[in-house]
Structure 1
Amino acid sequence: MDIRDEAKSAMEIVNVPPIVSTYRQALHTFDDKYKNDLNTNLLKLKSMMNNLKAEDLGYDNTLSDPGTWRRPNKAPCTYVEVFQNSLVNMSIFVLKPGFKMPMHDHPHMHGLLKVIAGAVRIRSFTEFPLKEAVNEIDFAIRAKHEAARIAHGIHRRRRLFATISQDSICAANSETCVLTPTISNYHEIEALEMPAAFFDILSPPYDTLIEDIGPRRCRYYYVANEISNNLVELQETKVPDCFYCDQVPYLGPYLG
């Protein structure tokens, strides 16, 4: 490689769009080949997401116009699919002013959430006592128990205790929020006075298979009982009627 080729190569690296670098790091982070370095790679991915801005994702600023959300029959939430494969789902959600995305879970998933427009209140919950699988045998036992619960049908909806692990306002200058299969795995997200948008990465995506259970379903909850300032009881419920989305295309740099 001569000097001109080296300069061109360096320039290409410098000019990689931030979302493309983030996409590549996400695939690396959640690739089973690198699972021994998951925590290190997760921190790197979080750091890269901290610097993402709305324009890096081709965000349509008309979605931040309150007038957009006053149109007849406008859904309270707009979904943008950025990228999805068997490893990760990358997407943008835009919420109308004052709308609360209902509390939901992320079964056996990691997730990262970065606000890119407006501001939201995020309340996250961690199951109590913390039931973290210590090895593959323990995980398999829990998985079979969960499969049996689901097989019993809707009348066996979950009820669980949880601690409040986050209750804060996040804006475009806030750090990325992280959830794991056990920590902050339940959350609700509420837009404030203006429309709000956030970019998130989930791994594995919803609907991928969990061994001995089946598809990775999203379940919804509400606070059924407040035990103390930091301890609540959550009750699984049906998908709230108020929560539905329309969809617009992703307008940012090509991924994949």
Structure 2
Amino acid sequence: MPVLKKIYNACKDSFTPTGPASEEALERVRSILDDLKPANVGLEQEALAAQKWKPLANGSNGRRPRNGGHPQYPPAIKYLHIHECEKLSIGIFCMPPSSIIPLHNHPGMTVLSKLLYGTLHVKSYDWVDLPELPESSSARPAKLVRDCEMTAPCGTTVLYPTEGGNIHCFKAVTPCAIFDILTPPYSSEDGRHCSYFRRAPNDKLPDDIAQQLEGVNLNEIVWLEEIQPPENFVVFRGQYNGPQVVKKS
């Protein structure tokens, strides 16, 4: 059975409309996803091209604003939609070098991500729960979970609703592709809508709040505030030409 079909079947049996049925069920999906290769989703040629990619001499890979001036915007990202139902969504983000998926969250969702090819920089955070926050604060404290580069082939990463780096951003170091499974999928009606964040201009922890964070490295705490989706963040839907997980009617 094709790997993609095996992944889908495992998801169908392991996930519910509220997420994984159990940690063991999630692990079954993750272990199969570890074996996914670019060729399994019709991206073998793209992966080969990524291996041969060399950075431009001037370091410029971005889009220019409509008026032709500076600064350059990050390149647009292509999304390949594979499947969505009440239990999960499956898709692939194809990222050109220097493209960025800004800091965003996955409220109430578990996400499995498999880097298919290329090198990607990942930075992620989890919210820090505090008894109370200043009434005047529009930001919340978050703890750094990951700040590193990943290069394929590598294992599948899993983030949970409240841990593992639920708030994260990606920057493509080279051409790369990320295979994503979200369970359950985004749904504004159910309160699972994507929000974007940035570090607050003044993110120093007040002394009274810092005292509440016993055992936490304060150097890893930042204040994040919600923002509108960045205008320079562009994702367009591409044509997925790989194997289907459900027969088209």
TM-score (structure 1 length as normaliser)? 0.73
Query: 1:115 touches 1:172 (CA, 8 Å); kept in 2?
Result: yes
Q: How many residues align?
A: 210
Which residue of 1 is the match for residue 215 of structure 2? none
* Maintained 8 Å contact 2:19/2:110: no
**Per-residue CA shift, 1:118-159, capped at 9, x if unaligned?**
11011111111289xxxxxxxxxxxxxxxxxxxxxxxx9952
Amino acid at match of 1:216: R
1:144 paired residue number: none
1:244 lines up with 2:234 in the alignment: yes
Alignment of 1:167-182 (within 5 A): 167-182=147-162
Matches of 1:24 and 1:204, distance apart in 2: 16
1:77 aligned partner? 77
Q: 1:163 to 1:195 in 2, by over 3 A?
A: same
Structure with the higher fraction of residues in helix conformation: 1
Q: Matches of residues 1-256 of structure 1 in structure 2 within 5 Å? A: 16-31=1-16, 37-59=21-43, 61-62=45-46, 64=49, 76-129=76-129, 159-183=139-163, 184-192=165-173, 194-207=174-187, 209-210=189-190, 215-224=191-200, 225=203, 228-256=218-246
How far apart, in 1, do the equivalents of 2:197 and 2:63 lie? 29
* C-alpha contact (below 8 Å) 1:157/1:235 kept by paired residues: no
Per the normalisation by structure 2, the TM-score is: 0.75
Q: Distance in 2 between matches of 1:238 and 1:71?
A: 21
Say which SS state the counterpart of residue 43 (structure 2) adopts.
coil
Could you tell me which amino acid in structure 2 is paired with residue 187 of structure 1? H
Structure 1 regions of 5+ residues with no counterpart? 1-15, 132-155
Tell me, yes or no, if the aligned pair for 1:114 and 1:199 is still in contact at 8 Å. Answer: yes
Post-superposition CA distance 1:155-199 (Å, at most 9, x none): x9952111111122112211111111101210001100x211100
Say what the alpha-carbon RMSD is for the aligned residues: 2.9
Identity of counterpart residues, as a percentage?
Answer: 27
Letter of the structure 1 residue corresponding to residue 103 of structure 2: M
Change beyond 3 A, Cα 1:157–1:31: farther
- 2: CA distance, partners of 1:51 / 1:157: 45
Mapped contact 1:79–1:245 kept (Cα < 8 A): yes
Q: What is the CA–CA distance in structure 1 between the aligned matches of 2:224 and 2:102, rounded to whole Å?
A: 13
Amino acid of the structure 2 residue aligned with 1:57: V
Distance 1:208 1:86 in 2: 13
